[in-house]
Structure 1
């Protein structure tokens, strides 16, 4: 085996995007979703992780930027590895964090150029408002919160580590 310069080694490794999202509910267990101005569907509050930023810090930053509030970023609920799709040439790792509950939407300040709405939806309604490959994160995040354990998804499907043994 020949030795490879670190710069060459790292330049040849696979690269991917990372995103961080907040799982926020109200006291009845309804899920907070936001409606971006640039998409046809709703999404979890959150966004891409910046270079040099930890995913949990990106989640907190995105909530401040998108909703105008500060939340405590809690446990990691879901990690979802999504392969390249459509115009996205790289895989994306999406981290969904438990950001607790808020009682109402009165304190939210949405950036009008980015978000046109925010609303709470029942679990079923939330799944219907999200793209199919993201909708599975609703059930996964709810289960992870109940189990107090993170769940791993691959392309939106739960992967059981037991089946890989």
Structure 2
């Protein structure tokens, strides 16, 4: 005998949920990566943030870049999709979308959102990865590979780039 089907509202309430974030890879004319230093974390990060309710990842990253850096940057190709299991105080899985923002030819246009950020600086690809926590640092070489190969990279939590 088969199980009775749940009503859609009951079924959706039983499905696991994830957090979603989006960030943007911006480089300068010397092929260095832009990172930001949030004032609420001890490490550097790729600019971006958490996707709000009913917001698409590409819309989120455009909003976050405007809010955090005062820039209006066209959202380019999807470079990396990163799946990360629960970590430290985050109780759910995080799925991150990393979009290409291209080359920022005039870094003087950056207007830092001081309520959330202490700094924004360009680093070599290697130094950028070294300044990030291990659970997100793999996004940097993956994004570089994605740009080079014009192909999105998927990063499951146990992947090595």
TM-score, normalized by length of structure 2? Answer: 0.95
Classify the secondary structure of the residue corresponding to 1:157. Answer: coil
Q: How many residues align?
A: 159
Change (3 A) 1:61 1:34: same
Distance 2:160 2:4 in 1: 39
Q: Give the alignment partner of residue 128 of structure 2, picking from 126, 129, 134.
A: 126
Classify the secondary structure of the residue corresponding to 2:108. Answer: coil
Residue-by-residue CA offset, 1:89-114 (whole Å, 9 max, x unaligned): 00000000001010242111111110
Partner in structure 1 of residue 87 of structure 2:
85
State the Cα RMSD in Å: 1.2
Contact 1:26/1:120, CA 8 A, preserved across alignment: yes
1:54 aligned onto 2:56: yes
Q: Give the alignment partner of residue 98 of structure 2, picking from 91, 96, 114.
A: 96
Distance 1:13 1:149 in 2: 31
Distance 2:124 2:105 in 1: 15
Change (3 A) 1:156 1:49: farther
Residue-by-residue CA offset, 1:12-50 (whole Å, 9 max, x unaligned): 000010000000101121000000010100000000000
Unaligned residue ranges in structure 1 (runs of 5+): 160-165
Partner in structure 2 of residue 28 of structure 1:
30
CA apart distance, 1:158: 5.2
Classify the secondary structure of the residue corresponding to 1:62. Answer: helix
Q: Which aligned runs of 4 or more in structure 1 are off by greater than 6 angstroms? A: none
Distance 2:149 2:141 in 1: 12
Change (3 A) 1:102 1:62: same
Query: Which stretch shows the higher mean deviation, 83-92 or 147-156?
Result: 147-156
Distance 1:60 1:156 in 2: 29
Classify the secondary structure of the residue corresponding to 1:59. Answer: helix
Contact 1:20/1:95, CA 8 A, preserved across alignment: yes
TM-score, normalized by length of structure 1? Answer: 0.93
